Structure 1
């Protein structure tokens, strides 16, 4: 092989290597590969968004990201949680209240139609210490198209009398959901529209009182808001999903 041919081959290989390096530098890294936290201010409270990189965690054995594509506050002060797809992975969202407030009345006002979520998507509003000390309001069809999509739960959920399911009928983008947690009872309520102290009966979608033996005691519970995929399954419509909260109150 002549020296000219060898020189030409070396130039081709060198050029190819430079292009390859340039391509690698310009590739956008998956933000969720970072295991980190972000602190957000929503409705006057500090919240912590957490990312777990490529580690699957519960609920549902999902990937969770704290990137601004998954959790953010818009210019109007609304909180957005979004399930996004990056590469071949679906990333879910989770936000935890920084401080514990234990026995209290927690009021969540949504600014999106959770009844329109894909059947594999779960939206959660809850207090949590551990899996046995948890009070939930959840929105999901649990993978079944015509399932009731609202539920109130005091864990353990498998125990008879610890859950109550209902059909969401918000009628508009705003709905309000309440956990009123006291020492001897927990009152749940979901109704149409924004917060009001005494909603009209026709606006109430569902309400339930729990007085069983599994009411959590005061401890270091935190309020958590999350959006995740049931059993880690991709949305059946293959579309990203979002839940918006317009306000959060502790009364």
Structure 2
């Protein structure tokens, strides 16, 4: 399915290698934000025509908190991105994340996911989001974080498994949870503009619309921040760093990522609009 990406119900970090996060009950999931500027990265991978940093930590880091291993993010011969959660030598689990080196700004972010996501373990979180490590406290969304997350937040019986979010997600009207049914390969896309954000999620096979949502700047919720130092992330991690001991490794395969910059009116069009306005004046 094709979805306008920009969002993810996450823990909000305040920068640094270990980020202090807001606690939240399962019905109010914590964010998947990542302190990737301070964290080390082991290498980079070439995916969808772009170089992506892979995340490696020396200890545990938010979200989760989890161990992060850059070797768990790989690209196969067909150019598909593989993210894994796998047992590590400490007897726990390590997670995977990739992120772009610089901001792309306003436009449409589209991710095509070939793996079905409807039956992920209730502690697994798959995130597609923008995030700026350095917070700007004057902004209503200081980390410029917009998310798509596939997660049940530790509740196996939860009938919903996906959400769009504008951080901070705790504020009214800044999150939409929904269900992606069946073993669907999906496309998620997000469009970020000066006036707000919009998302769509569709079936990759049929093109059927699974969900859509728009978020606009208002006096009540504040303005959607402009681009800054945020970068786009794709990650796979464990809520509360927990999986059953007998659970197998987890893998998500992402077919592609694309970005379409926001189109702005040409100077010729702006001039024509200005001329028409002047002509219509009494």
Q: Distance in 1 between matches of 2:197 and 2:241?
A: 30
Query: Are positions 1:63 and 2:80 aligned together?
Result: no
Task: Find the residue that maps to 2:240 and give its secondary structure.
Answer: helix
1:146 to partner: Cα distance: 2.5
Greater fraction strand:
1
**Residue 247 of structure 2: aligned partner:** 238
Residue-by-residue CA offset, 1:157-200 (whole Å, 9 max, x unaligned) = 1111100000012543x210011011111001111016xxxx85
Superposition TM-score, scaled by structure 1 size: 0.78
8 Å Cα contact 1:155/1:214 also seen in 2: no
Query: Are positions 1:187 and 2:192 aligned together?
Result: no
**Residue 56 of structure 2: aligned partner:** 51
Task: Find the residue that maps to 1:115 and give its secondary structure.
Answer: coil
Instruction: Map 1:53-202; keep pairs closer than 5 Å.
Output: 53=58, 55-67=59-71, 70-87=72-89, 88-130=91-133, 132-147=143-158, 148-169=160-181, 171-172=183-184, 174-193=185-204
Q: Distance in 1 between matches of 2:105 and 2:70?
A: 25
Distance 1:184 1:145, change over 3 A: same
Give the count of matched residue pairs. Answer: 207
8 Å Cα contact 2:144/2:227 also seen in 1: no
Residue-by-residue CA offset, 1:68-109 (whole Å, 9 max, x unaligned) = xx1100111100000000231200001001221011100000
Task: Find the residue that maps to 1:133 and give its secondary structure.
Answer: coil
Superposition TM-score, scaled by structure 2 size: 0.70
**Residue 25 of structure 2: aligned partner:** none
1:115 to partner: Cα distance: 1.2
Which runs of 5 or more residues in structure 1 are unaligned? 1-34
1:66 to partner: Cα distance: 0.4
1:133 to partner: Cα distance: 1.9
Which runs of 5 or more residues in structure 2 are unaligned? 1-39, 134-141, 261-282
Residue-by-residue CA offset, 1:100-153 (whole Å, 9 max, x unaligned) = 101110000001011121110000000111464200000011111122100000
Greater fraction helix:
1
Task: Find the residue that maps to 1:119 and give its secondary structure.
Answer: coil
